Amino acid sequence: MSAPLDKLLRKNYGVRSMPIRKGDRVKIVRGIYKGTEGKVTQVYRKKFVVYIEKLTREKVNGQTVNIGIHPSKVLVKELHMDKDRKNLLERKARSATNKLNPTKLQEPT
């Protein structure tokens, strides 16, 4: 479940999107909650939604429940970094630069 990165992050890392995970800071860009920012509290892969802190609603019985947002409708503003994520960013950036500047194989003369 990937989400697009903010323009600043795109420029820094050379990557357009990243798999979203708990701890990322996101901004909602579509729907009635547009403009809301917060930290991802849970990623529910089976339902294909992410839950964001402070984004809840109250049920009829008074219980509060989290509201699920589709990952394509959010923009990642800040990444929760660790060793594996750094390796992934480096690998994706390297792959993107190889696609932009392919090396042509030359036949020996």
**Average of pLDDT values for 5-28?**
93
- CA-closest candidate to residue 41, choices 57, 61, 26, 62: 26
Confidence at residue 78, expressed as pLDDT on a 0 to 100 scale: 94
pLDDT at 44: 94
Question: Cα–Cα distance between 87 and 26 in angstroms, integer?
Answer: 21
- pLDDT for 106 equals 63
Phi and psi at residue 32, to the nearest 5°: -75, -15
Distance between CA atoms of 19 and 62, rounded to whole angstroms?
Answer: 34
Q: Is the pLDDT of residue 95 over 70?
A: yes
Residue 105 has pLDDT above 80, yes or no: no
The pTM (predicted TM-score) of the whole model is: 0.81
pLDDT tens for 39-85 read 999 999 999 999 999 999 999 999 999 999 999 999 999 999 999 99
Predicted confidence at residue 102, as pLDDT, reads 64
